Every structure is written in structure tokens, then in C-alpha cells.
Structure 1
Amino acid sequence: MNSWHSFLHQQGASIVEQSTISFGEKPGDYPGLESKTTITPLIHLGLLSVKGADSARFLQGQVTCDVQQLSLGHSLIGARCNLKGRALADFLLCQPSEDQLLLVMNHRLVQQNIDELSKYSAFFKTQLLDASKDYQLIGICGEEAETLANNIPASYHYPLRDGRQLLIVPTEDAPSVWKELSASAIPTGNEFWHLQDIRAGLGHVQTETVAMFIPQMLNLQAIEGISFKKGCYTGQEVVARMKYLGKLKRRMYRMTTDSPLLPAPGTPCYLPTQKQSIGNIVQAANVDNNHQELLVVLTDEASKSDTLIIGEAPAQAVKQQILPYDID
């Protein structure tokens, strides 16, 4: 347990496997929290730092978003792919200073991406580092989220598409920032944050789903996570072909169900009348004591079904929900 986790434990948090945190809230509390301002330590996320004079030029050839469009204080959604166009990680790209870029991604994927990117970074004036110990990530939800974030000078502050706010705080300042925020907001665990991600239609690559989806399956084209005007990058040929020449056979949908089991990322899905998988779970979260919301990549046919078999569970009723963006 690191110093930040120890501090959070003193504040009443329970932490499991260094990636799941709660403050005693249960799924039955979530409906009541929707109308409150909440804060969440995003311990499931980490930071990959790309620092040096060539950082933007280097990253431009490695990711789906147009790094040249990034500016100080702003962020971009993007993904990094393999040669087959499969997403190895998705991220929020931030620029805290002129010569440094930070990629916010699943913390278990940071070192793997550093190792793979290092094969190419040797030809550029840039340095790849795991900055997860240097900064802590705090999320804010609710109507007062922007006001609270603006009142924290000791952090980098990035608004998300749905109004939530992301703070990147130097580790030495994180305890004082947390105490200041908790005076005006309710501490909550990261399952509540995952639920907000699902409702925002933000599907994330996790260890179980590395190289499972092409970016368009995660709807990245609908949230400006793919630039079709920039130059080449690893996997670009496949991603571009899917837009201009191919037909996307699977895409991500938002579903609700009342199953008592929370399916793991990557869990295969089936139609009751077929034995072949027709999709996979991206992520899932409880809504209350009786319902779940899912982001799931499905075929068009499967998305119209009101019944799915998820993993080895019995067939269950599902209902498609709207996403907060249009899908091409």
C-alpha cells in the first residue's frame, strides 16, 4: 500500500487489489448520489509520461488522435493500436507543459505500453516514464464539479465530455487537495465512476480486452478519438479502411439488465439461438441493488435482441439504452 492509499484508508476507504476503492457506499446508494457532488480517487488509472522536445512528433505516429491539435490545458481522447488496428490501450491525452504529454489510461497497461513504445522512441528526443507515482488522479461528479475543480490551483484540471472533471494532482499535494474537496463533496468509490463512464458511452481497454476491439468498435470515431485527416500511425491502414471501404460489423452499445452477476470485461455474449459469440462485454457496473448497466460490443442483429446469454450465465433480459452521441 503506497502513501496515497494509506492516506485514503485513514479517510475511511477500503481498497482491493490496488485498483478498486469504496467508502462504504453500496449500489443501493447510487441513485441518491446522482444528485450530489461526489469525489473519487481514480486508483484504477495511471499516467504514462512522454517528455522531451520530440514528444508530440513521436506520439503523432503512434496514436489515433491528432496530437498536433492538443494545446496547454486541453485534452484529447485517443487509442494506441497494433498493426492489425486492434486497440492496445485507450487514453485521455493531456498536455501539462510545453515539453510533456500525459496519457491517462488503465494503470495495469502503463508499463506494457512503455515497453512497446520504447522500440520506436529511441529515434526521437523523448523519454517515456510511468508517472503514476508522481501524480494522483481525482474525479469530480455533479453540478458543482467545475466550480470545485476551478478552486484547486495545485492541480491540472481537465473537463470530461459529460461535465465531470479530472484533476491530476502532484502526489505531495494530493492529501491536502482531498481534504479541501471532501469538505464540499461526498467521497465515493470508483464503481460509481465506472457507472458514469458507461452512461457517457466511454468504453475503456482493460487487461482482459487488450487487442480485442478496433477503435470504431468502441465508438471512438463518435467522440473525436480518431482523426482521419492526420498522417500515418501504427494500425492506421486498418482503421481507415474500416471507414472508407469496410462495413463495421460490431459496435458498442449501452444496455441495462437485472442479472445478479457483474460480468468481467471481455466476457463473450451469445444469442439464445446461436452458439457462436456475437460480442463481448467492455465494462459493467451496478446501477442499484437490482440492475446493471453494460457497455457491450455487439453485432447489429444482437443489439436488437431483448435477450442475451452473457458468459456462462443463463439467458437474461436486456434493454438497449441511448448513448449521448450519434454513431456514424
Structure 2
Amino acid sequence: MWTFLPSGGLRVTGADRVDFVQGQMTGDLRGAATPGMVACAFLNVRGQIEQFARAYKRADDVYLHLDAGQAAPLLARLKRYVIFDQVELQDVSDDLRTVHIWNAAGLPGWNMDGPDAQSFELGGGVVLAGRVNRTGTPGVDLHYLARHEAAVLAALDGEEASLDTLDAARVRAGIPDIARDGFLGVLPQEVGLNVDGPLPAISYRKGCYVGQEIMARLEARGNTRYHLAQLAGDGWDVGAAITHAGKVVGQAGLNAGGLGLARLRKDLPEDAEVEVNGIPARLQSLNARP
């Protein structure tokens, strides 16, 4: 099966491309292999997520794969930090398309034992592929030129699965999607991006970046007030307030297949009765508390 992913992307070239992006993102791009891929966030000075991306490190460029609508604001942000850096920034959102391959075993050109980022010929052109877990089992995000779309899709095995079907699988597996779950504007550790979370995207050893001081304080303190949890229920909107005993205790992510992820207070009892915009919900699972 494969699923279209609403996407955007930036291409960064120039002699200083790796060091420049390294100084903005939470992941350790410099320490990654070439080719390689690093999940990361771009934070504000308060340590809150502005964008989430997967950074592909290649021999000649860095490709930042983002959710739809995120490329333009990240491009504007990065341009503000270009001073003497030898870099060029390009929004390639209109030129590229992305699908997620649920099971890459039958993907022509993909080496199951190879690196997390690979390039190979498919559908009359060169594609970029990255090993990504979106369903609880690692699959592949496949990036290709829009003009090659018909040929690329014809080369894929299996049928198309809707984005709703993919969302239901990832929510069931407890894997957040930062933009689709409405988790922008919060601390990475609160929504599963910590080193031991379901979507690790932070390095505490990589050096300075915007928001790094806050991350260092959180590492030293050892916890946050909120963490990623799962709710059973249906019928609420992304970002809806979660309440317990009349008090707001969190915010809901996307609801899919009778489940939803949530940013929830850690001090909430596991048997607590909660509501999401007045709709009863049940705590399905909570991350282990430190």
C-alpha cells in the first residue's frame, strides 16, 4: 500500500549547507551519515516547535521534507539567519511529490539493508527515499518530481490507501504527526520528540541552535509537565481542550479510528475521567512517568 502525503520541501545548497542547517535544528545533521536522514524540529527562543522536518543529508545538498504549508515560513526564518554563510535556499514544494510506502519490500530500487536515505531510478527519473515509521512498522517516504508522478505511481506495488487510513494506523501505534496533530507551538518533549519518545528528534550533544538553552534546562530538570498520551473516543477536533474535574489538562490531537493522541498533564491519574470539548474520552495509554 501507499499513501499520498501533503508535503512541502526546501533544498539547501552551498559549501556551508550542513553547518548552517545544523545551527537551526534540534537533530544532529553533522553527525549523520552521507547519505542520511535526521528527524528534527525548528524551535523559537522559548523552545517551542515552529516546524517539524526530516532532513536528508546528501553529497550535494540538504533536503528538508516538511508538512504542507510549512516550507514558506521555514524559508523566511532561515533567510533571516543567513549572514556570511555560503548557502542557497530554494522552496521546491511545487516541484516535488511524496508518497509513503507502507511496506518497502516490494519497492523497486530500495535496498532493505541499506542506509535510511537512498536515491535510485524509478519511473524515468531519480527518486529520494527515506526509511520512516508512520504506522508502527518502518516504511519508506518516497520523494519524486511532480512531472514523473504517473510513471512513479505505475511502478509501485499495491493499492493506494487514504490519508485517513494512514492516520488511523499511526495513531493506533502512538506515533505523532506534529502538524496534523496540531502540536506546533509546544515543547518537543511534551509530544513524543524526546530521545526516548516514539519520534526522537532531539540531540542534547550537538551544540547551539535556536531554543537550545531551553532544551538543556529541560534535560537537566529531567521532565516536563506534559507528555504524549492516547485517548479512546471519537468526535473531537484537533486542538480541542481536554478537561478533568472542570480544569483544562491538555489538548487533543487528530482523532482517527476511535483513538486520538493528546498532549496531557503527567500528574493526571491514569483512571481519570476526561472530556474533550464536552465529549467523554478514556485514557487508553500513558507514557511511563520518570
Normalised by the length of structure 2, the TM-score is 0.85
Tell me, yes or no, if structure 1 residue 40 matches structure 2 residue 3. yes
Tell me the equivalent position of 1:68. Answer: 30
Alpha carbons of structure 1 residues 295 and 317: separation in structure 2 relative to 1, 3 Å: closer
Letter matched to residue 175 of structure 2: L
Tell me, yes or no, if structure 1 residue 320 matches structure 2 residue 289. no
For 1:114-136, what per-residue CA distance to the aligned partner results, in whole angstroms no more than 9, with x for missing partners?
11111002431112221112211
Tell me the equivalent position of 2:148. Answer: 173
CA shift, 1:303, in A, is: 6.2
Equivalent residue runs for 1:83-102 within 5 Å: 83-95=45-57, 97-102=58-63
Tell me the equivalent position of 1:147. Answer: 106
Higher relative helix content: 1
CA shift, 1:211, in A, is: 4.9
Q: What is the root-mean-square deviation in Å for CA atoms of aligned residues?
A: 2.3
Tell me the equivalent position of 2:213. Answer: 237
Alpha carbons of structure 1 residues 87 and 327: separation in structure 2 relative to 1, 3 Å: farther
Tell me the equivalent position of 1:14. Answer: none
Identify the match of residue 70 of structure 2 among 94, 109, 129: 109
- Contact 1:47–1:105 under 8 Å retained in 2: yes
Distance 1:139 1:208 in 2: 18
Alpha carbons of structure 1 residues 122 and 283: separation in structure 2 relative to 1, 3 Å: farther
Partner secondary structure for residue 204 of structure 1: coil
- Contact 2:25–2:209 under 8 Å retained in 1: yes
Distance 2:217 2:269 in 1: 24
Letter matched to residue 263 of structure 1: D
Distance 2:254 2:140 in 1: 21
Distance 2:139 2:285 in 1: 20
CA shift, 1:179, in A, is: 1.4
CA shift, 1:293, in A, is: 1.8
Equivalent residue runs for 1:7-18 within 5 Å: none
Tell me, yes or no, if structure 1 residue 227 matches structure 2 residue 227. no
Equivalent residue runs for 1:240-259 within 5 Å: 240-245=216-221, 247-257=223-233, 259=234
Tell me, yes or no, if structure 1 residue 267 matches structure 2 residue 240. yes
Letter matched to residue 160 of structure 1: V
Distance 2:260 2:155 in 1: 33
- Contact 1:82–1:211 under 8 Å retained in 2: no
Distance 2:105 2:236 in 1: 31
Tell me, yes or no, if structure 1 residue 156 matches structure 2 residue 119. no
Tell me the equivalent position of 1:137. Answer: 98
Tell me the equivalent position of 1:6. Answer: none
CA shift, 1:102, in A, is: 1.4
Tell me the equivalent position of 1:25. Answer: none
Q: Identity of paired residues, percent? A: 21
CA shift, 1:109, in A, is: 1.4
CA shift, 1:107, in A, is: 1.3
Distance 1:185 1:208 in 2: 27
- Contact 2:270–2:286 under 8 Å retained in 1: no
Letter matched to residue 263 of structure 2: V
Tell me, yes or no, if structure 1 residue 206 matches structure 2 residue 170. no
Tell me the equivalent position of 1:282. Answer: 253
CA shift, 1:191, in A, is: 1.5
CA shift, 1:246, in A, is: 5.3
Letter matched to residue 276 of structure 2: I
- Contact 2:180–2:254 under 8 Å retained in 1: no
Unaligned runs of 5+ in 2: 111-119
Unaligned runs of 5+ in 1: 1-37
Distance 1:172 1:282 in 2: 34
Letter matched to residue 154 of structure 2: K
Letter matched to residue 318 of structure 1: R
Alpha carbons of structure 1 residues 193 and 217: separation in structure 2 relative to 1, 3 Å: same
Higher relative strand content: 2
Distance 2:7 2:205 in 1: 29
Aligned residues: 271
CA shift, 1:141, in A, is: 1.2
- Contact 2:18–2:62 under 8 Å retained in 1: yes
For 1:225-279, what per-residue CA distance to the aligned partner results, in whole angstroms no more than 9, with x for missing partners?
111111110000101101112531101112322x2x1422x222111x123x211
